Amino acid sequence: MAGLVPVGEQRAPRPGGLVVVDKPAGITSHDVVSRVRRLAHTRRVGHAGTLDPMATGVLVLGVERATRLLTYLVGDRKRYVATIRLGQSTITDDAEGEVTGEGDASGLTGDAVRAALTALTGEIDQVPSAVSAIKVNGRRSYARVRAGEEFQLAARRVTVHTLQLHGETRPAPALLDLDVEVECSSGTYVRAIARDLGVALHTGGHLTALRRTAAGGFTIAEASTLDELATRPDPVTFPLGAAVARVLPRRDADAEEARVLSHGGPLSTVGIAGPYGVFDPAGDVVAIVSERDGRARPEVVLSG
């Protein structure tokens, strides 16, 4: 049968790479991982930051050795387009939860909305949505909410780099929908921004649509749908070497340096700050290194 390895024969590990998926609405990020595992014929697949089931857009996955690259991606900035509805609150702070409060956004002015958006921009202390995957005393926050527990998560310092209003509509006299663009640090909850905007304007608020348009340096223009990936012999968008070169600074090594590094040995420094990828004379990535204590030492060896 296809995909089976004869007894006594070992399959060499594949280098893999990054897959940039345009996640559809209605499924979890883990569902996407499961689908790509089947397409790539490997269990070794992970993602660099989840999207809620309601959300769509850029989800970056690592396959095979590239899963070790994901740690360098999880802290990257994210960019979204979103729709915030003022005049209603929900238990989940988005459209998937039951409505818990009704307000009146009929009297809101553009100046008031823009002032409230400005106040939520920059470094802020944000309380994550209660219905989230954050663990509290060993249990997921959403599980505690569904069990009827009342509690509040601790605030976290996040950065909202931009929060721009691009349009507004009124689906009903007491409701106001805002189309916004958000660029923020990793760990920021856009649905919490919607909630806090509603609190600031005394109307209640929640998220009705969310699309991630960029994660780190990867954009929606580079993303493929799951159906598109299914038509390809290999779902990888960026092979391992191209992925490392895209994510990190690059250093080219000679043959001896590449040999030393492939066995975990250090190299001389070249003055590159932070982690970077080292490539051999053939253009293949050998390792990710960082310079400390006067040597360039491998953090992750990727060759062989």
Is 227 one of the catalytic residues?
Answer: no
Which of 22, 52, 94, 177 does the annotation list as catalytic?
Answer: 52
SS (H, E, C) the chain: CCCCCCCCCCCCCCCCEEEEEEECCCCCHHHHHHHHHHHHCCCCEEECCCCCCCCEEEEEEEEHHHHHHHHHCCCCCEEEEEEEEECEEECCCECCCCEEEECCCCCCCHHHHHHHHHHCCEEEEECCCCCCCCEECCEEHHHHHHCCCCCCCCCEEEEEEEEEEEEEECCCCCCEEEEEEEEECCCCCHHHHHHHHHHHCCCCEEEEEEEEEEECCEEHHHCECHHHHHCCCCCCCEEHHHHHHHHCCEEECCHHHHHHHHCCCCECCCCCCCCEEEECCCCCEEEEEEEECCEEEEEEECCC
Q: Which residues are catalytic?
A: 52
